[in-house]
């Protein structure tokens, strides 16, 4: 094999150095690390696969549906790569006559036709709780083989069914080993001697939940148990890399991640600031479902008090994504998006005059940049959409971008700035209401390639993001 690319979702150098991972550390030390800083809203894997930023692909997490409603979507698949300025990597490999094997890459559903094999990853709007569909596999008949192998498609926490660290973490450990063995077998079966690309999603699934345990060491009780389980997972992740290198004997090995991992200590809800200034409106009646959730929450709190539980409860009755009344709203923020949208014709909104939009953008930037609480956290707002007005996906962009500290996450609920109640030790996971617990993404992605490949890439002419990985991979197959 000419080039083996191992994708480690959510892994950065700091995380690697926290665990005993001599094989991975050795590869990183031998390779050249391309300096990368990801924006965390654009999809990093799409940058790797397309060589283009989100403004050129429309590949964002939680992006507007643009159907005249206030609805958002996370959907992104192989059909979205058609017609872009650059061919996706699998097409570029085919055009060069290079055999390729792909396993578990997000945003590649349905699987593309390649000279080799492709097994699409879950996510990008496709639930990992579903069985591996035939459209995820090329050739399609490979589906039966992988089903018989009981390949774990993705072990995302909420849909996994596991509710304690001593069952969930070992299941993730089994998944990465199973996937590595399957990938090795498929490479040999389909005679892939060009590019092999395997992505392991479980690292980010675990750091999203257990980052507090990664960063905080204790040697008593369940906290020690969780730490030991995490240590074993990362030891095994290193072992899978060693296994792949020994069994496939690639000429070159690259390590890529779509972002880094860090603690999620605070949440930011810009709608609280916008509501305070009469710019966003919520429905006047909370609705029956919200009332039921509030009753359940109060009941749980009373039970906790009666039983003397010291666990920090999650405000589960509060809407995860609070409804917006678009008939009365001028601007709004949305979960996962580090910015503010003007409520214009994209959302059948109230602001359609260009002068009014410009006035609102200036007003909101001033509100954010002069708020004492936000200023104390170095949270800064700048114009965004107008800077990319000529890009093909400008309508997806918020008018205002907000730079956040690495430990702050944009939410759609609660106070303007609040402590994350899920930032704590986890072992019993029954009270964890979602896939994000004590950890979140950080901009420090890995883009580690052999020096001779990096030297073939005009990095000075490229942005400092994961689009560089696309060019480094291509460099391995230049004449």
What is the Cα–Cα distance from 11 to 476, expressed in whole angstroms? 23
Domains and CATH numbers, the chain: 3-262+440-475 (3.40.720), 266-282+322-419 (no CATH), 286-318 (no CATH)
User: What residues contact residue 405 under an 8 Å CB cut-off, 6+ apart?
Assistant: 266, 377, 378, 379
DSSP string, 127-139: -TTS---GGGEES
What is the Cα–Cα distance from 143 to 466, expressed in whole angstroms? 31
SS3 162: coil
At 40, list the tokens.
């965390």
What is the Cα–Cα distance from 159 to 124, expressed in whole angstroms? 15
CB 327 within 8 A of CB 350: yes
What is the Cα–Cα distance from 266 to 270, expressed in whole angstroms? 13
At 17, list the tokens.
């150095």
CB 40 within 8 A of CB 441: yes
DSSP string, 336-380: T-SEEEE--GGGT-S---HHHHHHHHHHHHHHHHT-HHHHHTT-E
**What does each of the 479 residues of the chain score in pLDDT, given as a tens digit?**
999 999 999 999 999 999 999 999 999 999 999 999 999 999 999 999 999 999 999 999 999 999 988 899 999 999 999 999 999 999 999 999 999 999 999 999 999 999 999 999 987 767 776 678 899 999 999 999 999 988 888 899 998 999 999 999 999 999 999 999 999 999 999 999 999 999 999 999 999 999 999 998 776 778 899 999 999 999 999 999 999 999 999 999 999 999 999 999 999 999 999 999 999 999 876 555 555 555 555 565 555 555 544 444 444 434 346 788 989 999 999 999 999 999 999 999 999 999 999 999 999 999 999 999 999 999 999 999 999 999 999 999 999 999 999 999 999 888 999 999 999 999 999 989 999 999 999 999 999 999 999 999 999 898 899 999 999 999 999 98
């Amino acid at each position: 094999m000419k080039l083996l690319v191992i994708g480690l979702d959510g892994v950065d150098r700091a995380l690697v150095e926290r665990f005993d991972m001599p094989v991975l550390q050795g590869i990183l030390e031998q390779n050249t690390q391309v300096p990368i800083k990801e924006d965390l809203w654009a999809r990093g894997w799409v940058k790797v696969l397309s060589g283009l930023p989100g403004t050129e692909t429309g590949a964002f997490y939680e992006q507007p549906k643009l159907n005249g409603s206030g609805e958002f979507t996370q959907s992104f698949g192989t059909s979205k790569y058609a017609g872009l300025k650059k061919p996706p990597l699998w097409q570029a490999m085919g055009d060069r006559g290079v055999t390729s094997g792909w396993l578990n890459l997000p945003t590649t559903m349905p699987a593309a036709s390649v000279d080799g094999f492709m097994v699409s990853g879950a996510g990008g709007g496709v639930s990992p709780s579903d069985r591996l569909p035939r459209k995820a596999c090329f050739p399609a008949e490979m589906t039966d083989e992988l089903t018989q192998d009981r390949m774990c498609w993705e072990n995302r926490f909420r849909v996994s069914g596991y509710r304690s660290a001593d069952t969930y973490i070992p299941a993730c450990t089994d998944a990465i080993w199973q996937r590595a063995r399957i990938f090795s077998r498929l490479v040999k079966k389909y005679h892939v001697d060009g590019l092999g690309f395997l992505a392991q999603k479980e690292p980010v699934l675990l750091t999203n939940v257990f980052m507090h345990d990664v960063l905080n060491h204790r040697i008593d009780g369940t906290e020690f148990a969780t730490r030991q389980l995490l240590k074993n997972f990362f030891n095994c992740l290193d072992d899978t890399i060693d296994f792949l290198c020994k069994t496939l004997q690639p000429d070159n090995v690259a390590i890529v991640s779509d972002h880094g991992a860090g603690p999620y200590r605070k949440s930011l809800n810009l709608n609280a600031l916008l509501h305070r200034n009469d710019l966003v409106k919520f429905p006047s009646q909370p609705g029956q479902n919200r009332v039921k959730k509030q009753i359940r929450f109060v009941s749980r709190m009373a039970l906790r008090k009666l039983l003397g539980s010291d666990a920090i409860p999650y405000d589960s009755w509060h809407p995860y994504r609070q409804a917006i009344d678009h008939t009365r709203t001028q601007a709004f923020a949305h979960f996962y998006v580090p910015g503010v949208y003007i409520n214009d014709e994209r959302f059948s909104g109230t602001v359609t005059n260009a002068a009014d939009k410009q006035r609102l953008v200036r007003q909101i930037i001033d509100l954010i940049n002069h708020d004492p609480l936000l200023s104390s956290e170095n949270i800064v707002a700048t114009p965004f959409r107008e800077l990319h007005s000529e890009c093909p996906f400008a309508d997806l962009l918020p008018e205002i971008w907000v730079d956040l500290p690495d430990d702050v996450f944009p939410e759609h609920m609660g106070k303007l700035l609040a402590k994350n109640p899920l930032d704590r030790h986890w072992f019993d996971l029954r009270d964890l209401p979602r896939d994000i617990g004590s950890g979140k993404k950080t901009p420090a992605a890995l883009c580690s390639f052999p020096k001779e490949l990096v030297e073939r890439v005009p990095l000075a002419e490229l942005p400092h993001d994961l689009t560089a990985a696309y060019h480094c991979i291509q460099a391995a197959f230049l004449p």
